[in-house]
Amino acid sequence: MRMTEKRSYHHGDLRRALLVAAAEAIAESGPAALSLRDLARRAGVSHAAPAHHFGDKAGLLTALAVEGFHRLADALDASRAETGSLLESGVTYVRFATENRAHFEVMFQPSLFDQEDGEVIAARERAGAALSAGVSTLDEPPPAEGARETELAAWSIVHGFATLWLAGAFPDPLGDNAGDAARPIIRRLFD
């Protein structure tokens, strides 16, 4: 029975199990320390299994980046639909970063994955569109020629805050909740 369960697991969603194990390893030690052999050990599979599914480390990180960009787009779309607020979309971005640290770390280090991969391009564009759509929720959206700068300003603030939070770089404690701590900072966009 145990062998059957294990076989079922391996023939089930091994790819998913490897991505989960990779995210856990990256959250613990960062993407540079990740190895396919350690990943196989964590997932309880042969050392060849990760290479079979992803080819190499860059292939694995490409899949993780794709998953991350889709998760980010889903979170931003849900926030916009629920609140209609750019401020809350920014808070959602910061929460995404802290709750999906491994994905976040990989997504924004393009040297780690295949930037030309079609799935990466599509997922990154989808996340970018979700970020851009947040600007349209402003009471007074910027004129078309200023929209891109407003989008970059909003993204820079939330991405910078999330990055500093994850690095533990804020000199004074801001509390335990990154989203709540980010809210007054993001609000500065509207002052």
pLDDT digits (tens, 9 = 90+) for 20-48: 999 999 999 999 999 999 999 988 898 89
Q: Work out the average pLDDT over 84-95.
A: 95
Q: Specify the pLDDT at position 191.
A: 65
Cβ count within 10 A of residue 48: 11
Both structure tokens of 156: 């820079």
- Fold exhibited by the domain 9-55: Arc Repressor Mutant, subunit A (1.10.10)
| pLDDT tens profile 164-184 | 999 999 988 888 999 999 999
Every domain range in the chain assigned CATH 1.10.10: 9-55
Q: Specify the pLDDT at position 142.
A: 83
Tell me which residue of 88, 70, 87 sits closest to 79, measured CA to CA: 88
Cβ count within 10 A of residue 96: 25
Q: Specify the pLDDT at position 139.
A: 82
Both structure tokens of 91: 């808070």
Every domain range in the chain assigned CATH 1.10.357.10: 57-188
Q: pLDDT-derived band of residue 65, with 50, 70 and 90 as boundaries?
A: very high
Q: pLDDT-derived band of residue 1, with 50, 70 and 90 as boundaries?
A: very low
**Percentage, residues of the chain above pLDDT 90:** 74
Phi/psi region, residue 44 (left: phi>0; alpha: psi -120 to 50; beta: rest), is left
Q: Specify the pLDDT at position 189.
A: 79
Q: Specify the pLDDT at position 2.
A: 40
Indicate the average pLDDT of the chain: 90
CA distances from 134 to 69, 75, 157 (A): 16, 12, 14
Both structure tokens of 98: 């802290």
| pLDDT tens profile 118-134 | 999 999 999 999 999 98
Q: Work out the average pLDDT over 53-75.
A: 97
Distance of alpha carbon 115 from alpha carbon 12, whole angstroms: 29
Q: Specify the pLDDT at position 12.
A: 67
CATH, domain range 57-188:
1.10.357.10
